[in-house]
Structure 1
């Protein structure tokens, strides 16, 4: 079994303009998906990320505001899951509730590096 990280991206909360009822319905879809992954023994953990943050980059590091991947697309959270293969991880990602609001999932296998004592 291999471990994979799902990185979730999507519109900013301001762009969504959801009503409280729509927000609640969205959360129920998320909880349902997490429950399905747990029942399959695949879900290992994950969390949403707070909006805001900093990015540091460059040979002479430059700090900029925002955790935005592209434009105003927000990196909103992550899961760690176990799967037999990238293909199975991809199939598990198909339950992502935010596809309907133009969200996306990046699926990456986690590299195992032996630690030195």
Structure 2
């Protein structure tokens, strides 16, 4: 079985939308995520998953220049990730299809993880 990373990409407007959710809307959204993740976990394919804050720091280059980022002016941000096991990239794509992010026309990038030993 291979390992894959699902990278969740939201547009900033989608990320901002969550701030305006009522507590009931947020609970319903979390329930969608819990059901989808729980289904993958029940198959024994979940390795790890987490959401990311929309802010942080970027470190760049040989001089390790630190700046604020990602920037709120950016069109798209990485909002979270999941590590999972699947027999093929096609299976990983199928597992991704239940992701609630698709409800908002967001992107789930499916990438194989290289094993260096």
Q: Which residue of 2 aligns with 1:14?
A: 16
2:64 counterpart of 1:79: no
Scaled by the length of structure 2, what TM-score is found?
A: 0.83
2:39 equivalent to 1:36: yes
Asked if the contact 2:56/2:70 (under 8 Å) is kept, the reply is: yes
Count the aligned residue pairs: 113
Q: Tell me if structure 1 keeps the 8 A contact 2:101–2:108.
A: no
Compute the RMSD of aligned alpha carbons.
2.0
Gaps of 5+ in 1: none
TM superposition score normalised by structure 1: 0.83
Deviation at 1:62, TM superposition (A): 4.2
Query: How much does 1:61 deviate?
Result: 4.8
Which runs of no fewer than 5 residues in structure 2 stay unpaired?
none
